[in-house]
Amino acid sequence: ARSRAAAGAALLPSMLMFGVILASSGLLLMIERGILAQMGPPPPHPPAGLSRRQGRDSAAELELEVLRDTRNRTIRALCGQRSMPRSVWELPAGQRRTVLRHLLVSDKYRFLYCYVPKVACSNWKRVLKVLHGALRSVDVKGRMDHTSDLVFLGDMTPEEISYRLKHYYKFIFVRNPMERLLSAYRNKFGEIKEYQQKYGVEIIRRYRKNGGSSAGDDVSFSEFLQYLLDEDVERMNEHWMPIYNLCQPCAVRYDFIGSYERLQADASHVLERIQSPSSVRFPQRQAWYKPVTAATLHYYLCNTPRRLIQELLPKYILDFSLFAYPLPNISSEFCRQ
């Protein structure tokens, strides 16, 4: 136990320093000057699949504890500043509508879940529907209906909203911001005609010469990022709006922040915490799903103008800093590998 404590003490200062620097206003200047490259990133999110007993005795579990401590300290430090909202009622009306529209309610199990598109939210919605008897099984095939048989906090009265925010268990799941953006890009512009027609055609019209004949299904990743750079965060589609803006972790004090990298293990923790029936489990990833791998992300980032990524970072910097994700490595040395 003493050796574990010593290891934790050794890891903690660098982790906390990483969190503090990420949250500081001088971050982008440090990126430009290359100072951040001299620091190590936080430990990687440990893989899912370890049993609880194995996890307690593993280095991965220790790293997870340090990661969560860093995340919690960074959130407290940022959210403790005077300019930050202390409750949803201190948010501007538009921001309040957004977060209340993304908080799903279970009165039966007394919890609130802030759903984040491209972070397994469809499977969480399936779980909610099974818990409330609207769906027979989480394995039921077919397209997910994202509104029916679900209760949104925004549909309640101010008194009902305040009571649930104060007394219910609140959780959220997060994901590496660049990985989430790439997942949204590949899914929406590679597979869904509605998004191709609504957003793809407009993106190509704006950023491509002689692109008037495009059906919106050939948007490049660079064009997509340029569109995000020019878009007002508060007006973004939810699939690429920053997690901070969707779920407002300063205005809503979440009891648990799970991560996409440990989806099964963290989901099991939540289901145990809300005392769901043992028959209800979190769905396994569908066989047809093509995840964003490290190699895929490397390819897209290294084939995108570096300037574009650097200029886009400020819009997602709170997602990187508050949830302790390393900034994307787009150095020439890394991209030559």
Q: How far apart are CA 158 and CA 85, in angstroms?
A: 17
> Is residue 35 over pLDDT 60?
no
Which tops the pLDDT comparison, 102 or 31?
Answer: 102
Backbone angles phi, psi at 311, to 5 degrees: -75, -25
Top-confidence residue, 121 or 141: 121
Q: Is residue 104 part of a domain?
A: yes
Considering 75-79, 145-149, 251-255, the range whose residues carry the highest mean pLDDT is: 251-255
Asked if residue 314 belongs to a domain, the reply is yes
The mean pLDDT of 59-76, rounded to a whole number, is 85
Q: How confident is the model at residue 144 (pLDDT cuts 50, 70, 90)?
A: low
pLDDT of residue 306 exceeding 80? yes
Q: What are the helix (H) ranges across 121-200?
A: 121-131, 158-167, 177-191, 193-195
Is 269 inside a domain boundary?
Answer: yes
Share of the chain above pLDDT 70, in %: 80
Q: Using 50, 70 and 90 to split pLDDT, how confident is the model at 98? A: very high
Tens of pLDDT, residue by residue over 208-265, are 988 778 888 999 999 999 999 999 999 999 999 999 999 999 999 999 999 999 999 9
> Is 161 inside a domain boundary?
yes
Taking the C-alpha atoms of residue 260 and residue 175, their distance in angstroms, rounded to an integer, is: 5
Distances from the Cα of 1 to the Cαs of 9, 22, 55, 280, in angstroms? 12, 31, 14, 35
Over the stretch 257-302, which tens digit does the pLDDT of each residue have? 999 999 999 999 999 999 999 999 998 876 667 789 999 999 999 9
Residue 64's pLDDT is what?
82
Domain of residue 141: give its range: 93-336
Q: Is residue 84 part of a domain?
A: no
Judged by DSSP in three states, 101 sits in helix
- At 59 the pLDDT is 81
How far apart, in whole angstroms, are the C-alpha atoms of residue 300 and residue 216? 19
Specify if 37 maps to a domain.
Answer: no
Residue 265 maps to a domain: yes
- Distant-in-sequence, close-in-space partners of 316: CB < 8 Å, separation ≥ 6: 177, 178, 181, 242
Helices then strands, each counted (H, E), the chain: 16, 4
pLDDT higher than 70, residue 22: no
Band of the pLDDT at 166, cuts 50, 70, 90?
very high
Whether pLDDT at 49 is above 70? no
pLDDT reported for residue 109:
97
The interaxial angle of helices 294-302 and 177-191, nearest 10 deg, is 80
CB-based contacts of 195: which residues, under 8 Å, 6+ apart?
Answer: 188, 189, 216
Exposure of 74 in the CB half-sphere (CA atoms within 13 A) = 28
Asked, for residue 23, whether it belongs to a domain, the answer is no
Per DSSP, the residues of 70-91 read: HHHHHHHHHHTSTTS-SSGGGS
Q: What is the pTM of this model?
A: 0.82
Number of domains in the chain: 1
Q: pLDDT band for position 189 (50/70/90)?
A: very high
* Average pLDDT in the chain: 84
Q: CB under 8 Å to 67, separation ≥6 — which residues?
A: 15, 42, 43, 45, 324
CA distance 85 to 93: 13
Q: What is the pLDDT of residue 33?
A: 41
Query: Comparing C-alpha atoms, which of 114, 91, 81, 65 is closest to residue 255?
Result: 114
Give me the phi and psi of 173, to 5 degrees please. Answer: -120, 135
User: How many of the other CB atoms lie within 10 Å of CB of 333?
Assistant: 8
